[in-house]
Amino acid sequence: MPLGKFIHYIKGGTKRVYLDYAAATPVHPDVYEAMVPYFAKVYGNPSAIHREGQEARGVVEHARKRVARTLAIRPEGVLFTSGGTESNNLAISGVVEAVHAAGRAYEDMEVISTKIEHLSVIETLKRLEQKGVNIVWLPVDDEGLVQAHDLESLLSPNTVLVTIAYVNSEVGVEMPIKQITRTVRAYNKKHDTHVLTHTDAAQAPLWLPCELDKLGVDMLSLDTGKCYGPKGMGVLAMRHGVQIAPQMGGGGQELALRPGTENVPLIVGGALALTRAQDTWEDRAKIVRRLRDILLAKLEKEVPGVVLNGSREHRVANNVNISIPGIDSEFLVVSLDIAGIAASTKSACSGASGGGSTVVREITGDEARATSTVRFSLGEDITEAELERTVVAVKTHAEKMQHFEEKGDVD
């Protein structure tokens, strides 16, 4: 079944426009079909030594090899997790705890990151800070980008990890990961240190290459729920030789770094989704980038006051994050939902907390922009007609709000 028809089917035949692919994607029909047998027909525990268990073990290891080939690493460098959040936690805390176990005090360690990271990174860093680890914040410019020379000035003998997202989950800015890793490697070589690099790549597989060697990173986090795979499935990919400490106690699964019975159906589906995403990312990005630019151009033309958040040039192919100062972003998203259009104000993991976008606030310093943001994230099946409908809905809402304000009906 073609993806467009499948999405129409799972939406119950409604004519809604879904523009929140950065939060969640539907499971692709091929991925769905691949998972089905492993819910009931192949049901053994992969740790069991009997035939049923070993059949499940073979399936898991086949999926691991598939992901390893896709990311160009060794199979033992692929850890299956519950999603991007767990992968980020395991990577960051895992490095710090491994270094601590080797004899270094928390107070003698530094981790470098930015204040516009995903909440799973920010909260993990806060917990490490409470233990005594020094968190060094790398500045971002008004386009949401970091500069390699700023990173170079912050690296020190105490630095153990640099963690910066490949693609920002809210404004879609693509960070210069290759420059960042080159800077860290040069520092390591010059000072005989061993600073590791990690990137949250949850938003990347559909639109950008994710091979670790091409990016130069030591660790990379993925979430298959962002690339037409199942939710609740993620990967932490690690270069050979990287040492991390487990963050949970239990069995010996996943090299004893992520204990717990493997979720065989999700592993099968997630591996296929990641492979599919990476095999076709260039063609997909080219098509969707054109549609993204059409949407942005029409919004800027039809809706007064629209301003783009984040870099226009260094931007992932499917992201349009705008502010309309004077418009309440949550009210706008509700209005769009009523009109049959799904969008968001910020990343799904921070959306329930209310308030403005901390990312937009950090890069612009403008509270009006932070509280009037809306994120449109496109999928590979989006049409120009759906984008036109979206522009009309945004314009209509903005005009109504302006009318009410002029009449004094709103504060």
DSSP string of 340-407, one letter each residue:
TEE-BSS-HHHHTT-SS-HHHHHHH--HHHHTSEEEEE--TT--HHHHHHHHHHHHHHHHHHHHHHHH
Instruction: Examine the pLDDT at 209 and tell me if it is beyond 80.
Output: yes
Looking only at the bridges linking them, the beta strands covering 319-323 and 373-377 are: antiparallel
Catalytic residue ranges? 349
Measure the CA–CA gap between 219 and 157, rounded to whole angstroms: 20
Q: What is the pLDDT of residues 313-359, one digit of tens each?
A: 999 999 999 999 889 999 999 999 999 999 999 655 554 555 689 99
Rg (the chain; Cα; Å)? 22
Instruction: Examine the pLDDT at 12 and tell me if it is beyond 80.
Output: no
Q: What is the pLDDT of residues 130-156, one digit of tens each?
A: 999 999 999 999 999 999 999 999 999
Helix, strand, or coil here: 20? strand
Closest CA to 26 of 5, 46, 41: 5
Q: Which residue has the higher pLDDT, 39 or 10?
A: 39
pTM for the whole thing?
A: 0.92
Q: Which residues contact 228 (CB under 8 A, 6 or more apart)?
A: 3, 25, 26, 27, 28, 31, 206, 273, 276, 277
Percent of the chain with pLDDT over 70: 92
The DSSP bridge partners found for residue 374 are 322
**Mean pLDDT, residues 203-225 taken together:** 98
Write down the pLDDT at residue 342.
Answer: 97
CATH of domain 74-260: 3.40.640.10
For the chain, domain boundaries: 3-28+281-407, 74-260
**Mean pLDDT, residues 167-182 taken together:** 97
In one letter, which amino acid is 335? Answer: S
**Mean pLDDT, residues 160-167 taken together:** 98
Percent of the chain with pLDDT over 90: 87
Write down the pLDDT at residue 6.
Answer: 47
**Mean pLDDT, residues 208-227 taken together:** 98
Q: Which residue has the higher pLDDT, 256 or 163?
A: 163
Write down the pLDDT at residue 10.
Answer: 45
Phi and psi torsions of 54, nearest 5°: -70, -30
Binned at pLDDT 50, 70 and 90, residue 249 comes out as confident
Q: What is the pLDDT of residues 88-129, one digit of tens each?
A: 999 999 999 999 999 999 999 999 999 999 999 999 999 999
**Mean pLDDT, residues 7-32 taken together:** 82
Instruction: Say which CATH topology domain 3-28+281-407 has.
Output: Aspartate Aminotransferase, domain 1 (3.90.1150)
- Residue owning tokens 């960070």: 175
Q: Is the dihedral of CA 206, 211, 215, 220 positive or negative?
A: positive
Binned at pLDDT 50, 70 and 90, residue 9 comes out as very low
The DSSP bridge partners found for residue 222 are 235
| H helical segments located in 244-280 | 264-279
**Mean pLDDT, residues 68-78 taken together:** 97
Phi and psi torsions of 136, nearest 5°: -105, 120
Helix, strand, or coil here: 16? coil
Write down the pLDDT at residue 175.
Answer: 98
Instruction: Examine the pLDDT at 202 and tell me if it is beyond 70.
Output: yes
Average per-residue pLDDT in the chain? 93
Q: What is the pLDDT of residues 268-279, one digit of tens each?
A: 999 999 999 999
Instruction: Examine the pLDDT at 256 and tell me if it is beyond 70.
Output: yes
As given in the structure block, the two tokens for residue 229 are 């795979």
Q: Measured between alpha carbons, how far is residue 185 from residues 29, 32, 219, 239, 380 in Å? A: 42, 41, 14, 14, 36
Write down the pLDDT at residue 193.
Answer: 97
Measure the CA–CA gap between 374 and 288, rounded to whole angstroms: 19
Instruction: Examine the pLDDT at 71 and tell me if it is beyond 60.
Output: yes
Q: Is the dihedral of CA 21, 22, 24, 28 positive or negative?
A: positive
| H helical segments located in 72-165 | 84-101, 119-131, 148-154
